A and B are shown apart, each in its own frame.
Chain A
Protein backbone atom coordinates (compact mmCIF):
# COMPACT_ATOMS: atom_id res chain seq x y z
CA UNK A 1 0.00 0.00 0.00
CA UNK A 2 1.34 3.39 -0.99
CA UNK A 3 1.83 5.78 1.91
CA UNK A 4 0.09 8.66 0.14
CA UNK A 5 -2.46 7.90 -2.54
CA UNK A 6 -4.08 10.14 -5.11
CA UNK A 7 -6.20 9.44 -8.14
CA UNK A 8 -3.89 10.14 -11.07
CA UNK A 9 -6.70 11.55 -13.21
CA UNK A 10 -6.97 13.28 -15.53
CA UNK A 11 -9.77 15.15 -13.82
CA UNK A 12 -11.67 17.44 -16.18
CA UNK A 13 -13.76 20.28 -14.76
CA UNK A 14 -15.64 23.01 -16.60
CA UNK A 15 -14.46 26.56 -16.10
CA UNK A 16 -16.21 28.20 -13.18
CA UNK A 17 -17.07 24.90 -11.47
CA UNK A 18 -15.60 23.44 -8.29
CA UNK A 19 -12.68 21.06 -8.65
CA UNK A 20 -12.31 18.48 -5.89
CA UNK A 21 -9.02 16.68 -5.37
CA UNK A 22 -8.57 13.88 -2.87
CA UNK A 23 -5.70 12.26 -1.02
CA UNK A 24 -5.48 9.45 1.51
CA UNK A 25 -2.52 8.54 3.69
CA UNK A 26 -1.56 5.45 5.63
CA UNK A 27 0.36 6.75 8.66
CA UNK A 28 -2.02 7.70 11.46
CA UNK A 29 0.76 9.66 13.14
CA UNK A 30 0.94 12.16 10.28
CA UNK A 31 0.76 15.73 11.51
CA UNK A 32 1.03 18.16 8.62
CA UNK A 33 -0.35 18.10 5.11
CA UNK A 34 0.38 20.08 2.01
CA UNK A 35 -0.93 20.65 -1.47
CA UNK A 36 1.55 21.60 -4.15
CA UNK A 37 0.67 22.69 -7.68
CA UNK A 38 3.00 21.71 -10.50
CA UNK A 39 2.73 22.96 -14.05
CA UNK A 40 4.17 20.69 -16.72
CA UNK A 41 7.98 20.78 -16.62
CA UNK A 42 8.02 23.23 -13.72
CA UNK A 43 8.77 22.88 -10.03
CA UNK A 44 6.16 22.18 -7.34
CA UNK A 45 4.71 25.29 -5.74
CA UNK A 46 3.06 25.23 -2.32
CA UNK A 47 -0.54 26.39 -2.40
CA UNK A 48 -1.99 25.13 0.89
CA UNK A 49 -0.91 23.65 4.19
CA UNK A 50 -3.19 22.25 6.89
CA UNK A 51 -2.45 20.81 10.31
CA UNK A 52 -5.78 20.50 12.16
CA UNK A 53 -9.01 18.71 11.39
CA UNK A 54 -11.52 20.80 9.50
CA UNK A 55 -11.34 23.32 6.70
CA UNK A 56 -8.78 25.96 5.85
CA UNK A 57 -9.62 28.53 3.22
CA UNK A 58 -7.29 30.74 1.20
CA UNK A 59 -8.92 32.64 -1.64
CA UNK A 60 -10.44 30.16 -4.08
CA UNK A 61 -8.72 27.23 -2.38
CA UNK A 62 -10.01 25.22 0.57
CA UNK A 63 -8.11 22.37 2.17
CA UNK A 64 -10.05 19.85 4.23
CA UNK A 65 -8.50 17.43 6.72
CA UNK A 66 -10.07 14.43 8.45
CA UNK A 67 -7.45 12.62 10.50
CA UNK A 68 -9.86 9.93 11.67
CA UNK A 69 -10.48 8.93 8.06
CA UNK A 70 -6.87 9.69 7.04
CA UNK A 71 -8.13 11.88 4.28
CA UNK A 72 -7.18 15.32 2.99
CA UNK A 73 -8.78 17.15 0.10
CA UNK A 74 -8.41 20.33 -1.90
CA UNK A 75 -11.34 22.25 -3.34
CA UNK A 76 -10.82 24.87 -6.01
CA UNK A 77 -13.79 27.18 -6.46
CA UNK A 78 -14.52 29.12 -9.65
CA UNK A 79 -11.96 27.02 -11.53
CA UNK A 80 -9.92 28.87 -14.12
CA UNK A 81 -7.93 27.52 -17.09
CA UNK A 82 -4.79 28.62 -15.23
CA UNK A 83 -5.64 26.04 -12.56
CA UNK A 84 -4.87 23.28 -15.07
CA UNK A 85 -1.87 21.51 -13.54
CA UNK A 86 -0.87 18.47 -11.54
CA UNK A 87 -1.66 18.71 -7.84
CA UNK A 88 0.62 16.89 -5.42
CA UNK A 89 -0.45 15.89 -1.94
CA UNK A 90 2.39 15.70 0.59
CA UNK A 91 2.37 14.43 4.16
CA UNK A 92 4.80 15.02 7.03
CA UNK A 93 4.69 12.24 9.57
CA UNK A 94 5.26 14.32 12.65
CA UNK A 95 6.41 17.77 13.59
CA UNK A 96 10.15 18.01 13.22
CA UNK A 97 10.28 15.00 10.91
CA UNK A 98 12.72 15.58 8.15
CA UNK A 99 10.85 14.03 5.27
CA UNK A 100 7.77 14.67 3.24
CA UNK A 101 6.05 11.80 1.48
CA UNK A 102 4.45 12.79 -1.81
CA UNK A 103 1.57 11.26 -3.69
CA UNK A 104 1.95 10.71 -7.41
CA UNK A 105 -0.31 13.67 -8.20
CA UNK A 106 -3.66 14.31 -9.83
CA UNK A 107 -3.70 15.96 -13.24
CA UNK A 108 -6.44 18.58 -13.41
CA UNK A 109 -7.71 20.07 -16.64
CA UNK A 110 -10.10 23.04 -16.62
CA UNK A 111 -12.23 23.10 -19.76
CA UNK A 112 -13.07 26.62 -21.03
Chain B
Protein backbone atom coordinates (compact mmCIF):
# COMPACT_ATOMS: atom_id res chain seq x y z
CA UNK B 1 0.00 0.00 0.00
CA UNK B 2 1.14 3.52 -0.78
CA UNK B 3 2.44 5.56 2.16
CA UNK B 4 0.90 8.75 0.76
CA UNK B 5 -2.49 8.26 -0.88
CA UNK B 6 -4.31 10.82 -2.96
CA UNK B 7 -7.93 10.62 -4.03
CA UNK B 8 -9.26 10.92 -6.62
CA UNK B 9 -6.52 10.13 -9.12
CA UNK B 10 -8.33 11.90 -11.91
CA UNK B 11 -11.12 14.44 -11.82
CA UNK B 12 -12.97 16.40 -14.46
CA UNK B 13 -15.16 19.23 -13.26
CA UNK B 14 -16.87 22.32 -14.58
CA UNK B 15 -16.08 25.96 -13.99
CA UNK B 16 -17.62 27.22 -10.75
CA UNK B 17 -17.88 23.85 -9.04
CA UNK B 18 -16.44 23.22 -5.59
CA UNK B 19 -14.17 20.22 -5.40
CA UNK B 20 -12.00 18.61 -2.78
CA UNK B 21 -8.81 16.64 -3.24
CA UNK B 22 -7.85 14.39 -0.39
CA UNK B 23 -4.54 13.17 0.93
CA UNK B 24 -3.87 10.62 3.63
CA UNK B 25 -0.59 9.17 4.86
CA UNK B 26 0.61 6.26 6.93
CA UNK B 27 4.18 7.51 7.34
CA UNK B 28 3.47 9.15 10.68
CA UNK B 29 4.85 12.46 9.43
CA UNK B 30 3.67 15.73 10.92
CA UNK B 31 4.37 17.93 7.91
CA UNK B 32 2.16 17.84 4.86
CA UNK B 33 2.19 19.87 1.65
CA UNK B 34 0.09 20.52 -1.44
CA UNK B 35 1.75 21.35 -4.76
CA UNK B 36 0.54 21.89 -8.27
CA UNK B 37 2.57 21.11 -11.34
CA UNK B 38 2.13 22.73 -14.72
CA UNK B 39 4.20 22.05 -17.84
CA UNK B 40 7.33 24.20 -17.82
CA UNK B 41 6.62 25.65 -14.36
CA UNK B 42 7.79 22.89 -12.08
CA UNK B 43 6.28 22.21 -8.67
CA UNK B 44 4.71 25.17 -6.93
CA UNK B 45 3.67 25.14 -3.29
CA UNK B 46 0.01 25.90 -2.55
CA UNK B 47 -0.29 25.28 1.22
CA UNK B 48 1.60 23.44 3.90
CA UNK B 49 0.93 22.31 7.45
CA UNK B 50 3.26 21.45 10.30
CA UNK B 51 0.60 19.88 12.46
CA UNK B 52 -3.15 19.77 12.93
CA UNK B 53 -3.30 23.33 14.25
CA UNK B 54 -0.86 24.84 11.78
CA UNK B 55 -1.74 25.97 8.24
CA UNK B 56 0.50 28.12 6.06
CA UNK B 57 0.10 29.66 2.63
CA UNK B 58 2.54 28.80 -0.09
CA UNK B 59 3.41 30.83 -3.15
CA UNK B 60 0.11 30.27 -5.04
CA UNK B 61 -2.66 29.92 -2.43
CA UNK B 62 -5.25 32.20 -4.07
CA UNK B 63 -8.35 30.25 -5.07
CA UNK B 64 -7.50 27.32 -2.79
CA UNK B 65 -8.18 26.38 0.80
CA UNK B 66 -7.05 23.47 2.95
CA UNK B 67 -8.13 21.50 5.97
CA UNK B 68 -5.93 19.40 8.22
CA UNK B 69 -8.46 17.00 9.70
CA UNK B 70 -5.92 14.84 11.50
CA UNK B 71 -2.21 14.20 11.53
CA UNK B 72 -2.71 11.80 8.66
CA UNK B 73 -5.18 13.79 6.53
CA UNK B 74 -4.77 17.01 4.58
CA UNK B 75 -7.40 18.11 2.06
CA UNK B 76 -7.22 20.72 -0.65
CA UNK B 77 -10.38 22.51 -1.82
CA UNK B 78 -11.10 24.62 -4.84
CA UNK B 79 -14.06 26.73 -3.79
CA UNK B 80 -15.03 27.75 -7.32
CA UNK B 81 -12.93 25.96 -9.91
CA UNK B 82 -11.64 27.84 -12.93
CA UNK B 83 -9.95 26.48 -16.07
CA UNK B 84 -6.48 27.74 -15.17
CA UNK B 85 -6.58 25.45 -12.13
CA UNK B 86 -6.27 22.54 -14.53
CA UNK B 87 -3.04 20.88 -13.40
CA UNK B 88 -1.44 17.88 -11.74
CA UNK B 89 -1.71 18.15 -7.96
CA UNK B 90 0.63 16.43 -5.54
CA UNK B 91 0.48 15.92 -1.81
CA UNK B 92 3.76 15.39 0.04
CA UNK B 93 4.87 14.66 3.59
CA UNK B 94 8.05 15.12 5.56
CA UNK B 95 9.34 14.22 8.99
CA UNK B 96 10.39 17.14 11.23
CA UNK B 97 12.73 14.73 12.98
CA UNK B 98 14.71 14.77 9.77
CA UNK B 99 16.37 18.16 9.62
CA UNK B 100 16.94 17.79 5.92
CA UNK B 101 13.22 17.98 5.06
CA UNK B 102 13.14 15.12 2.57
CA UNK B 103 9.66 15.08 1.09
CA UNK B 104 7.71 12.03 -0.04
CA UNK B 105 5.04 12.41 -2.68
CA UNK B 106 1.68 10.83 -3.39
CA UNK B 107 0.80 9.57 -6.85
CA UNK B 108 -0.94 12.79 -7.81
CA UNK B 109 -4.40 13.94 -8.87
CA UNK B 110 -4.91 15.06 -12.45
CA UNK B 111 -7.57 17.76 -12.42
CA UNK B 112 -9.29 19.19 -15.48
CA UNK B 113 -11.59 22.19 -15.17
CA UNK B 114 -13.79 22.69 -18.21
Contacts and interface: CB of A to CB of B under 8 A. Distances in A.
Interface in A22-60: 32, 34, 41-46, 49, 51
Interface in B31-81: 31, 40-45, 48, 50, 56, 58
B42 A46 contact: no
Q: Chain B: interface residue count, which band? A: 20 to 34
Given A98-B48, A98-B50, A105 B42 contact: yes
Contact of B42 (A32, A34, A88): A88
B101 interface: yes
Given A95-B99, A98-B48, A98-B56, A103 B42 contact: yes
Interface of B: 31, 40-45, 48, 50, 56, 58, 88, 90, 96, 99-108, 110
Contact of A44 (B31, B58, B99, B105): B105
CB-based closest 4 A-B pairs: A104-B42, A43-B105, A95-B99, A102-B43
A90 B96 CA distance: 17
A97 B101 contact: yes
Contacts of A111: none
A interface, size bucket: 20 to 34
Given A95-B99, A99-B101, A102-B42, 9 more contacts: A41-B108, A42-B108, A45-B105, A88-B43, A90-B103, A96-B99, A97-B101, A100-B101, A104-B40
Contacts of B106: 43
Contacts of A100: 101, 103
